[in-house]
Amino acid sequence: MEFSSWFSIAVSCLVLISLAIITKLHFRRPNPNLPPGPKPWPIIGNLNLISELPHQSLHNLSKKYGPIMRLKFGSFHVVVASSSEMAEQFLKTHDHVFATRPQTASGKHTCYDHSNVTWAPYGPQWRLGRKIYLTKLFSSKGLESYHEIRAQERHAFMSRLFAVSGKPVVLKDHLFHFTLSVISRIVMGKKYFSESKVEDDEEFVVSREGFQEMLEELFLLNGVFNIGDWIPWLGFLDLQGYVKRMKDLRKRFDRFYKHVIDDHMARRTQIGFVPNDFLDFLLGLVKDPSLEVDFTLNGVKAFALDQMAGGTDTAATTVEWAMSELMKNPNILKKANEEIDRVVGRGRWVEESDIPNLPYLNAIIKETLRLHPVAVLLAPHMALEDCKVEGYDIKKGTMLYVNAWSISRDPSIWECPAEFCPERFLGEKKEIDFKGQNFEFLPFGSGRRMCPGYKLGLKMVSSGLANLLHGFNWRLADQNMKPQDLDMEELFGLATVRKFPLVALAEPRLPQYLFN
């Protein structure tokens, strides 16, 4: 081919390339309008700005960058909502866009490959679980059917405290015993844990203390900022050791649930078998061809774990925070006792039917959940598609955190927000409820991913707290400590707990025969 021909081809190519560049420049999308936020570092993004208490770090950052804030954690874009208005935008107006969850190491290793409702992506597995929970466990009929279990275990709880009255008690341990007993009987038909510390006998594979430690580890690991989740190419190194702990915990739960499921499967072979607990119901769904998903034994374990974790540790944590605040504020404790004595008297225990008639007690519970929401950061959401929020461009795949802790401390909403003041819920905030439509108060979230079991949790919290106050006079075990000096430090996780458990002394204030 002659030189002139090569030259003509080269010129033609240059012209085409130039036209392509001009066209791309002319028609390219304008730069996205992103929310404000700090400039990320290479590789780690803004992870260097997050402390051991991420909700407080994000709260402080929001003071500078505003109620909708953009961050980058490793390779992933993150948006943080820190006001009630922004929470409403994400959890109501754009709820359908942010209805799914990110796929994390904790969801994979501790929750049976994201098979539980908490971590399941938005889809058929999540829809199945949500439907089962709302129609089987947490409907009005379902809650009423377990009323006697709650009453029996509540009385046993009071009797155990009576037996150690006058001695220092770690209150969380007794609260956990109560909530675990209730949930175990509802979900599995009986208590599959031993009261002693001896494990691995013929009937039990875990002690109560061992199961408590497992659930506390579960909540911690489901809330940690795991580097491998944010920087996937570093995941294999497991720099923080979290993934190893997750895998070890999964083995312990597998061992426990194998024992429980084997026991239930053996009963299913008996003549005249009748399902009598939630696990029986779940086992009946395995391989059911009418379901939208292939429901397996892993699904059974994941749904059971949802209930064992969500109904046990969260309720115990809330009551411990409430008791901490009441012991720190003796005048509020006195008012609560006066109300209960006036409504119930001292000749019987507080029943669940009494709770609506105890407005000050209910205000204490609301104020506890405002100041100490169980999930200070609502479990993360993820955008299913591109969208605009308040004029800002949010890309598909962006992680969303709603900072409930920050919202509950917003001085434009709450007068003296750092103070424990139940009276605020008897005045202008009286109509605020737990249903997720008051976006200044989100202890159980809102929208599609709102906690489906909040009604059961509230029944255990309210009746448990009421009877703790009704049955005993309380004081700190450390007699040299002034109530106002009680340490209120937090330990972050999926549920945020007291860093140092509350240790207290209980003295009976009711007739002895009521404790028998």
pLDDT score, position 11: 43
pLDDT score, position 463: 97
pLDDT score, position 274: 87
Whether 205 and 196 have beta carbons less than 8 Å apart is answered as no
Most distant CA pair in the chain, distance: 113
Residue 116 makes CB contacts below 8 A (sequence gap 6+) with 129, 302, 303, 305, 306
pLDDT tens track for 323-343: 999 999 999 999 999 999 999
How far is Cα of residue 453 from the mean position of the Cα atoms in its chain? 11
How far is Cα of residue 126 from the mean position of the Cα atoms in its chain? 16
pLDDT < 70 stretches in the chain: 1-30, 197-203
pLDDT score, position 19: 52
Helix, strand, coil % (nearest 5) of the chain? 50, 10, 40
Question: Cα-flanking dihedrals φ and ψ of residue 36, to 5°?
Answer: -70, 155
The C-alpha R_g of the chain, in whole angstroms, comes to 26
pLDDT score, position 348: 97
Query: d(Cα 470, Cα 510) in Å, to the nearest integer?
Result: 8
pLDDT score, position 198: 58
Which residue is it, tokens 């209930």? 307
pLDDT score, position 4: 46
pLDDT score, position 27: 47
Domains and CATH numbers, the chain: 54-515 (1.10.630.10)
Whole-structure pTM value: 0.91
Strand partners for 194: 207
